[in-house]
A and B are shown apart, each in its own frame.
Chain A
Amino acid sequence: MTCLPAHTDKKLGLVIDLDTCVGCQACVTACKEWNTGGHMAPLTDIDPYGGDVDGVWFNRVHSYEHMTEMGGRTVNFPRSCLHCETPACVTVCPTGASYKRASDGIVLVDEDKCIGCKLCSWACPYGAREFDTDVGVMKKCTLCVDRIYNDNLAEEDRVPACVAACPTSARHFGDLGDPASAISQLVAERGGVDLMPELGYRPTNKYLPPRAHTQRAASVPAPALEPVRAEGGFLGWVDRMLSH
């Protein structure tokens, strides 16, 4: 059913810290590794070792240069499905293949019902959905539904693969509908933002902007470097003798 639930019990989603993301692509490969055998498998690759590589990925990390009057900085920007509260990708679906779950707010695709019309990918402003030309259906992030409720995994592993893989803890998972949850507190504390709020999709995922530039210089200067070239003369002879 492509009509949206009036209310979801939870709003599961991700919070991505643009201050600490180093752009290492670990979340990208962990996502691909898990999901190519997961709920939406396979994540087809076309010509993976050739000159015209293409394939389905749920998570892509861009790099931007953000210039302000305070100076410039590189910002690494992971982009994946935001599991919006009013996802037009769901309502435009003619077959009922796309749906938003009333229990936890996750947006999913039933691959057995998808006709591959691609309209949902047109309706998503964030480019979260990618078409699998090999299977002929649309694919997207599942928020690792097959991990987060998986009793066969240790409790600490019941998070999306991208969150588990992040070496700098730039990715956080939790219930954004519960103001008392750790992830909601983090958003409140750091001033988390919506992407393209003007379009009115009301994304569940939030992005934490990079922390403000600081005017403080490093308080401890680095020690002076040793000269690279050996000195000649008497002092050079002393240096060589003492270095033995």
Chain B
Amino acid sequence: MHPAFSVVFFTTATGAGYGLLALLGVLAAQGFVPPDFWLGLVGMGLALGLISAGLLSSAGHLGRPERAWRAFSQWRSSWLSREGVASVATFVPAGLFAIGWVFLGRTEGWVAVAGLLAAIGAVATVCTTGMIYASLKPIAQWHSRFTLPGYLIFSAMSGSVLLNALLQGFALGSTILLAGCTLLTSLGWGWKVATWRYNDRLEIPTNANTATGLAGGTVRSVEWPHTEENYLLKEMGFRIARKHNARLRQITQVLAFALPVLLLIAAFTLRWPYAALLSALAAIAQFAGMLVERWLFFAEAKHTVTLYYGR
């Protein structure tokens, strides 16, 4: 599958943004995070900024973005429509929560309720994003039991690493949060490696024989219907990454998982501002690593239409 940068950035940014929003909503409502003006402004600004930038980026992927409002109508059948509805609906409690925290200086009462509702909306939105990919049968690497948990784990992981960087920056870091985001990053690492192992051993029943209805023997493509690459090959027959996938997987593992884990462990032993600096570096490295991971998620996915072209 062609890794359009708008979609790669969209899923990475909103994943981190919704993870951060959910954690801020729950932790602030529970009183673990003080209702400080600057912390609220930066934290909610970062979460909602990442979400908004991602959603705007995804609109850039559309052929007719001016009609995007129509995408809220088919939530009964379409996970993409459900994602649109969930993402916009989440802005309501998230906005109220941000106003209560930043401008009214309180995170209890109705603001806490709004925070919890925003967290529920954030989790629901990430689920709908994961299901868009998990529901596509022609792409075996996506239509697997790894996809939806992967989106949730990576959202929680990148959100928690961002939250840790944020709180460390305000000298509010805690060893519990450091331990939490280190564990989540390790979990994300394990999940990604397990997903790659599963995909590498994937044996799908669909092949050139079932694609053409020609039973038995071998079916070899001898002539394409067209001389140049068409939409199908440009969109679904992307092949560049296959050449470099081993190297790109290493880059992903280093940037998204190994380096953040090392930096976070080092931050345990240090005080502000060094712990804050390492936490910020961990968040930046992980975001860059997750962009590579998401790029590979697309580039390594093989669509059944490529069988018709002998690829």
Contacts and interface: CB of A to CB of B under 8 A. Distances in A.
Interface of A: 1-4, 18, 25, 28, 52-57, 60-69, 74-75, 77, 79, 88, 90-97, 113-119, 121-127, 130-133, 135-138, 193-201, 207, 209-210
A1 B226 CA distance: 34
Contact count band on B: 35 or more
Nearest to B204: A198
A62 B213 contact: no
Contacts of A131: 63, 231, 235
Contacts of B210: 195-198
Interface string B243-282: 0000000000000000000000000000000000000000
Nearest to A128: B305
A69 B217 contact: yes
Contact of A96 (B74, B79, B225): B74
Contacts of A119: 78, 80, 132
Interface of B: 1, 61-65, 67-68, 70-74, 76-81, 84, 132, 135-139, 205-206, 208, 210-232, 235-236, 303-305, 308-309
Nearest to B206: A196
A173 B135 CA distance: 32
Given A196-B210, A197-B210, A125 B305 contact: yes
Given A94-B72, A131-B231, 6 more contacts: A4-B77, A64-B222, A66-B212, A91-B78, A117-B71, A125-B305
A94 B220 contact: no
B261 to A, nearest CB: 34
A67 B218 contact: yes
Contacts of A4: 77
Nearest to B61: A117
B143 to A, nearest CB: 10
Contacts, number: 202
Contacts of A138: 63
Given A75-B212, A117-B61, A54 B78 contact: no
Contacts of A18: 212-214
Contact of B64 (A77, A136, A209): A136
B214 A64 contact: yes
A96 B78 CA distance: 9
A239 B233 CA distance: 62
Contacts of A201: 137
Contact of A66 (B77, B132, B137, B217): B217
B80 A122 contact: no
Contact of B73 (A63, A64, A96, A114): A96
A3 B76 contact: yes
9 contacts: A61-B225, A94-B72, A94-B80, A116-B62, A117-B61, A117-B62, A119-B132, A125-B303, A125-B304
A115 B213 contact: no
Nearest to B306: A127
Contact of A63 (B78, B215, B223): B223
Given A62-B225, A92-B78, A96-B73, A75 B235 contact: no
Given A62-B308, A196-B210, A209-B214, A92 B222 contact: no
Q: Which 9 A-B pairs have the closest CB atoms?
A: A116-B63, A136-B63, A68-B217, A127-B305, A60-B225, A94-B81, A125-B138, A95-B70, A94-B71
